Amino acid sequence: MKWQFTKGVHDIGSGCFAYLQPNGGWGYSNAGLITFEGGSMLIDTLVDRPLTREMLGALRRATPAAKRISTLLNTHAHPDHTNGNSLITGAEIIASEATAREMLAMENGPMKRLISHWQEFGEAGAFMHEVMGGVFELDGIPFTPPTRTFETDLTLNLGGKEIRMIKVGPAHTQGDTLTYIPADKIVFTGDILFHQVHPLLGMGSSSAWIAALELILSWDVEVVVPGHGPIADKNGVRGLRDYFVYLRDEAHKRFEAGMTFVEAARDISLDAFKGWPDEERVFSNVNALYREFGAQPAEFFDVLAIARAHRQARAGHGCSANCRH
């Protein structure tokens, strides 16, 4: 690919831009800008307001159209794609209905408390502070929800450019949305594509996520802007699909053998994905797969247990040989 994985604005052609944040790990998401006659459409904001301001300044220096953002799409509900919404004044904010519901639930949910009151949660709280609360400015962010929602898909014609938004969640989240520009052969994926970064399945669905990746592969696409990681083409999409197929199959063998999700995650080799940041996410991903295999959520989906496993993996104990030390 001709694009380097460097921080900042990358011109991907046809009046479209990607904003990248290496290394693509916890909180360091990407965004996009689609320009057209008379203005522009922003794809996602960033995890806090200082980073979003920095991005907006860089986009405005790259193209005058960034000074006239009429539309903002939130690809999904996670804060690293929505926390800068309040800075996009005067714009229509679009998201799937499922994303809007999930944004509201997260605003009042346990994860926000885990980050803001991390001292109360031991090792799990310490992990969230290390990767999020202690890194970004997350206090006092105004809740800025969508002003327009859609159920399954929405097509806009902005300045003569056709822009299709297709809900493919639940995958990474309940309301994941792809933004496809057919004439330009460009797709902004949000977190449906983590490119050369370990994904986070969480409360999503591996089968729906694989189906979403297959949908992208069925399109006439040359440039794929991921939610995390470097700009990709279809080979990057295939790479994440292969990750999920492999992890699903390996986790199922261990589920059938009676291993706990922690034992299974420690046992599965990640050699084929060596060098991808955030290998500790294998614990969350295997936990989610166990739920899909029939494990009871109350027993197997425990945010604190997963966060503890993540921290232990980062510290270099309680994890496979592949986990980052």
User: What percent helix, strand, coil does the chain show, rounded to 5?
Assistant: 45, 20, 40
The number of folded domains in the chain is: 1
CA distance 124 to 314: 12
The model's pTM: 0.93
CA distance 18 to 155: 21
Asked if residue 37 is part of any domain, the answer here is yes
CA distance 125 to 172: 22
**176 and 169 Cβ atoms separated by less than 8 Å:** yes
Higher pLDDT, 109 or 161: 161
Per the structure, the complete domain to which residue 111 belongs is given by 8-233
Q: Convert the pLDDT of each residue in 108-144 to its tens digit.
A: 888 888 888 889 888 888 888 999 989 999 999 999 9
For the chain, what is the radius of gyration of the CA atoms?
19
Q: Convert the pLDDT of each residue in 43-94 to its tens digit.
A: 999 999 999 999 999 999 999 999 999 999 999 999 999 999 999 999 999 9
Asked if residue 259 is part of any domain, the answer here is no
Asked if residue 305 is part of any domain, the answer here is no
Asked if residue 263 is part of any domain, the answer here is no
Asked if residue 56 is part of any domain, the answer here is yes
Asked if residue 140 is part of any domain, the answer here is yes
Asked if residue 67 is part of any domain, the answer here is yes
Question: Looking at residues 195-224, what average pLDDT do you find?
Answer: 96
CATH number at residue 187: 3.60.15.10
